Amino acid sequence: MRAGKAIFSLIVAFALMALPSALSWAGQLGGVRMPDQATVGGKTLRLNGMGVRKKLWIQVYVAGLYLENPTQEASRVVTTDQVKQVRMHFTTGLATKSKMDDAWDEGFEANNPQAVGKLRPRIETFKSYFGDMKDGDLVEITYVPDQGTTVAVNGAVKGTIEGKDFSEALMRVWFGDHPPTAPLKQGMLGR
């Protein structure tokens, strides 16, 4: 009987030691740790999921999607009019301004072919907020209904792009039919 209690106690002790690391792992991926929650304009957003953006063999950034109402449905991420945020933690210094511009253009055009012409001036303004990204840089892209999409780089607000249509087009870059990579999209959707 004593041996059984001792074994049970050891199992419980190991489970309790493993619990904090299991809980914190939910916000860790590719060497980047993200908080489980974010607060924007008095709204609490929850980490929906995280994904890694790779180009060839290089890990470019780890992205986290924060939503008021988490979902695994890509179409809901795109179309719901709720506060949402994408955090991009860059993990390389190879994401130059030129490469970033090309990647944004490719993403917008592949996922919004009919709307690109109408959105072009706002896309150009959005792209102007980015420079050469360095390892450790943090980009926060936050949509607030009736205000627009605000971009902050390393805590400095670069500007706000108006319109729910722009937000939807931007969200389609990650959650449309042609995301940068399928694992990035699936990870951010929490799948």
What pLDDT does 32 receive?
A: 84
Q: Residue with structure tokens 């949402």?
A: 84
Burial 7-45 (b: 16+ CB within 10 A, else e): eeeeeeeeeeeeeeeeeeeeeebbebebeeebebeeeeb
Tens of pLDDT, residues 4-19 = 444 434 333 333 333 3
Burial class (CB in 10 A: 0-12, 13-18, 19+), 48: buried
- Intervals of the chain under pLDDT 70: 1-26
pTM, entire model: 0.84
Q: Hey, where are the domains in the chain?
A: 30-188
* Tokens at 177, concatenated: 């039919």
The whole-angstrom separation of Cα 101 and Cα 185 is: 20
What pLDDT does 30 receive?
A: 78
Looking at domain 30-188, its CATH class is alpha beta
